[in-house]
Homo-oligomer: A and B are copies of this chain.
Amino acid sequence: MRKQVTITKTDHRVFIEENAPRDGLQNEAAVFSLEEKVSLVDSLTQCGFPRIQVGAFVDPRKVPQMADTEKLLERIARGGQTIYSALVLNERGMERAAASGIGHVSFFVSASDAHSRRNTNLSAEDALHQARKAVSKAVSRGISVQGGIMNAFTCPFEGVIPLERVLYLVCTLTEMGVEEINLADTAGLAHPLQVTRVVQRVLQVTEIPVSLHLHDSLGFGLVNAYAAWNEGIRRFDASCGGLGGCPFLPQSAGNIASEDMVNLFESMGVSTGISLPRLVEVARMLRTKLNRPLWSRYLTLCGSPP
C-alpha cells in the first residue's frame, strides 16, 4: 500500500500535494456532501497530483466537515500513482486512520505553545509526547507518516518562532520515524528571507525530505515557495482555487492556489506532472459551488466561462 516518491535537489521536478479536500473545505461555510467530496477528490486525481490530502481524523464535533473521512476513503476511485493522505493530531485519530486502511498520514504538532493549546488542548510538549506514541503506532502498522510542524515560522499569538524550537521538533520527529518533514506557515505570516533561513538550517539537521505548507494570507505564498525551492525544497502543498485556512487562526486566509503554483513551476521549466487545464476546471467548479471569487490568479485569468 505504501509508495515512495523520491525527489532530489537536482531534479527538474517538484512534488505538489493537493490540500483542497481537507485544508480547503474544513474552513468553508458551504457544506459539501459525501458525493461532492468524492467527485472533488476523483477530479483532483485526474489532474495527476502525486498525493492528495483528502480528510482528517480529528474530532467531528470540532471540525464536522471532516467527519466522513472514512467513508470518503472507501468511495474514491483509486489507481494511478496518487497517494491519499489524511491529517491526524492525536492517538485517537491515529487509531481511526489505522482502522481505515489508509497508507499515508500527516501528523502535525505546533511549534507554538499558544496555538497548540487552542488547536489540540495540549501544550506543545504534551502534543509531542502524543506524537511519539501515535507515530510509533502508525509505523508499526506500516503506515507512512509525514511529520508536520504548524506555525514553523511566525505564530499570530507568539510572533516569530525561535529557530531552535523548529530544529528540535524536526530532529525529534525524524527520530520518531516519520518519512517526511512538513514545515507549515499556518497563518501565512512568513516572508521569503525567513523561509530561506529556516529551510537552510532544517536541511542541515535532517536527511529525510522536507516539504512546505504555505498560506497566502499576505500574498507571499509563491514568493516563499520560490525562496524555498532556491534552497532545494522540492515538495509543496497547495490547494485548488486557493481554498483554505485554519479554523483557529482567522489570519490564515487561503493556501497557495494549486493552479498558480503549477503555473509558476511549469513556467520555470520545472515539471509538476499536473494538468493545468484539468486543474482550472476543478477550480472553476469550486468557484461555482462556493459562489464567490477565489484568490487564484490563474483561475481569474483563464477560468472565465467561454
A131-188 contacts to B, CB under 8 A, are none
What residues of chain B lie closer than 8 Å to A4, measured between beta carbons? none
A268-306 contacts to B, CB under 8 A, are 268-269, 293, 295, 297-298, 300-301
A171 to chain B, nearest CB (A): 28
What residues of chain B lie closer than 8 Å to A222, measured between beta carbons? 219-220, 222-223
Contact with B along A204-220 (1 / 0, CB 8 A): 00000000000011111
Count chain A residues whose beta carbon lies closer than 8 angstroms to a beta carbon of B: 27
What residues of chain B lie closer than 8 Å to A300, measured between beta carbons? 253, 295
Does any Cβ of B come within 8 Å of A267's Cβ?
Answer: yes
Does any Cβ of B come within 8 Å of A203's Cβ?
Answer: no
Contact (Cβ within 8 A) B298 A218: yes
A100 to chain B, nearest CB (A): 36
Q: Which residue of B lies closest to A196 (CB)?
A: B230
A241 to chain B, nearest CB (A): 13
Contact (Cβ within 8 A) A253 B301: yes
A272 to chain B, nearest CB (A): 14
Question: Given A223-B223, A301-B253, A193 and B293 touching (CB < 8 A)?
Answer: no
A263 to chain B, nearest CB (A): 6
A206-246 contacts to B, CB under 8 A, are 216-220, 222-223, 226-227
Contact (Cβ within 8 A) A223 B264: yes
A-B contacts, 20 of them at CB < 8 A, read A192-B226, A192-B268, A193-B268, A193-B269, A216-B297, A218-B263, A219-B264, A219-B297, A219-B298, A220-B222, A220-B264, A222-B222, A222-B223, A223-B223, A223-B264, A226-B226, A226-B227, A253-B301, A293-B293, A295-B297
